[in-house]
Amino acid sequence: MFVLELTYIAPIERIDAALDEHVAWLDAHMASGVFIAAGRKVPRDGGIIIALGEDRAKVEEITRSDPFTVAGVCEYTVTEFVATKTAPALEQYRQQLPS
Global confidence as pTM: 0.94
Distance CA 59, CA 8 (A): 19
Q: What is the pLDDT along the chain (99 residues), one digit of tens a residue?
A: 999 999 999 999 999 999 999 999 999 999 999 999 999 999 999 999 999 998 999 999 999 999 999 999 999 999 999 999 999 999 999 999 987
Task: State pLDDT tens for residues 42-57.
Answer: 999 999 999 999 899 9
Q: Which amino acid is at 63?
A: T
- DSSP assignments along 13-25, one per residue: HHHHHHHHHHHHH
What's the pLDDT at 14?
98
For Cα atoms 19, 33, 17, give the angle at the middle one, nearest 5 degrees. Answer: 5
Strands ordered across the beta sheet of 35-40: 35-40, 46-51, 2-8, 74-80
